[in-house]
Structure 1
Amino acid sequence: MREKSSIQDLRGADLALWAARAQGIEERRQIKLYASGPCLYRDTGPGGEPFPFRPDSHLGEAGILIQEMAEAGILTLFAHGAQFEAKEFGHVGFSGSPSEALTRCYIAWKLGMDFTATPTN
């Protein structure tokens, strides 16, 4: 991954990877980045069991992020489908789909507004 200048620059697999890091998943599970996006590995035996983690493209996978932000009082969900307000962090989520916007807000909340994604390899 090449260096990104801001959270707004994160897209696709990069966005999902940094969401996993912001959630602290990297400390508990191995993350491997594929062209389709990051896969996390459960410790269920030799080599582990891979499963995709794409909160940026699937609201179902963003559920844990939504719950954590809502419980902290940072996220307000509206009855009109995928609309939400993220106090203090909403301006980082203006571009992309609702799930991309939510994922950006989560990263900003957890890692800070001055976050810069640096190369991982």
Structure 2
Amino acid sequence: MREKVTIQDLEGADLALWAARAQGVEERKGIKLYASGPCLYRDTGPGGEPFPFRPDSNLGDSAILIQEMTQAGILTLFGHGAQFEAQGFGHVGFTGTPSAALTRCYIAWKLGQDFTATPTN
């Protein structure tokens, strides 16, 4: 079994996977997602097909996350990261690319700042 990682340590497809789970994509669409290598996939039973959701590397994909966070609080993007603050939640910030940092902020907001995950790739 792989060691659990914190939000700060999640990268690539694992970061996108947990953002999708935090947003409830699997439940809403009735699908199961998994990360393998650098890609996010939808489980199709005997295999998988690529699932186009990479908010960690594409601001277009993170638009829904940005919308949710700005409706709930204050999201600030920097050239070196992002921070988010909401009433009843508190404040969290991460360094890195703006899209990866805001994705981490979203996961912390939705799943908790002490969230840890078992990496899948």
**TM-score normalised to structure 2 length:** 0.74
Partner residue, 1:44 = none
Unaligned runs of 5+ in 1: 42-46
Label 1:59 to 1:40 Cα distance change in 2 as closer, same or farther (>3 A).
farther
CA contact (8 A) 1:38 1:53 kept: yes
User: What CA distance in whole angstroms lies between the structure 2 residues aligned with 1:119 and 1:85?
Assistant: 24
Select which of 65, 88, 92 maps to 1:89.
Answer: 92
Consecutive aligned runs of 4 or more in structure 1 exceeding 4 Å deviation: 47-50, 80-84
User: What CA distance in whole angstroms lies between the structure 2 residues aligned with 1:117 and 1:65?
Assistant: 20
More strand by share: 2
Kindly provide the CA deviation profile for residues 27-62 of structure 1, in whole angstroms up to 9, marking residues without a partner as x: 133324342321347xxxxx9975411000000000
User: What CA distance in whole angstroms lies between the structure 2 residues aligned with 1:117 and 1:24?
Assistant: 16
Q: How does 1:1-121 map to 2 (within 5 A)?
A: 2-27=2-27, 28=29, 29-40=31-42, 50-76=50-76, 85-87=83-85, 88-90=91-93, 93-94=94-95, 96-119=96-119
Structure 2 residue identity aligned to 1:37: C
Unaligned runs of 5+ in 2: 86-90
Label 1:23 to 1:15 Cα distance change in 2 as closer, same or farther (>3 A).
same
**TM-score normalised to structure 1 length:** 0.74
**Alpha-carbon RMSD:** 3.0
Percent of paired sites with the same residue: 66
